[in-house]
Amino acid sequence: MASFNKVILMGNLTRDPQLKYLPSQTAVTEFGLACNRKFKTQTGEQKEEVTFIDCTAFGRTGEVINQYFTKGKPIFIEGRLKYDTWEDKQGGGKRHKITVVVDAHPAP
């Protein structure tokens, strides 16, 4: 069976982007994104729910995000979900995290 992994998000940066370079000189930018959802409860009360998402962008896309975006700025991204697991160094327990890997779109 075929699978599909695509995410489209719009929100505000929760922190300034962090730019690093891999040994291959590929740029990697990590940033946090907050996406808000407003809704009404059954009693008619207005509520707001915030989802915090860690994102990673590679190459020129990452460099552009690092150059033009700062904490609080709105951003619209498209990418895929990535599930990471690792062993906790202090307690030895398993840890996991889902991140969004931002897709690079070449200019027309």
Q: State how beta strands 74-87 and 94-102 pair.
A: antiparallel
Q: Check if the beta carbon of residue 101 is closer than 8 Å to that of residue 56.
A: yes
Give first-to-last CA distance, the chain, whole Å: 33
Sign (positive or negative) of CA dihedral 15, 21, 22, 23: negative
pLDDT in tens, 18-63: 999 999 999 999 999 999 999 999 999 999 999 999 999 999 999 9
Summarize the confidence of residues 92-102 as an average pLDDT.
91
Sign of the alpha-carbon dihedral angle for 79, 71, 27, 54? negative
Which residue, among 34, 38, 57, has the nearest Cα to 46 in the 3D structure? 38
Confidence (pTM): 0.85
Domains for the chain: give ranges and CATH numbers.
13-74 (2.40.50.140)
Where does 1-108 have alpha helices with state H?
59-68
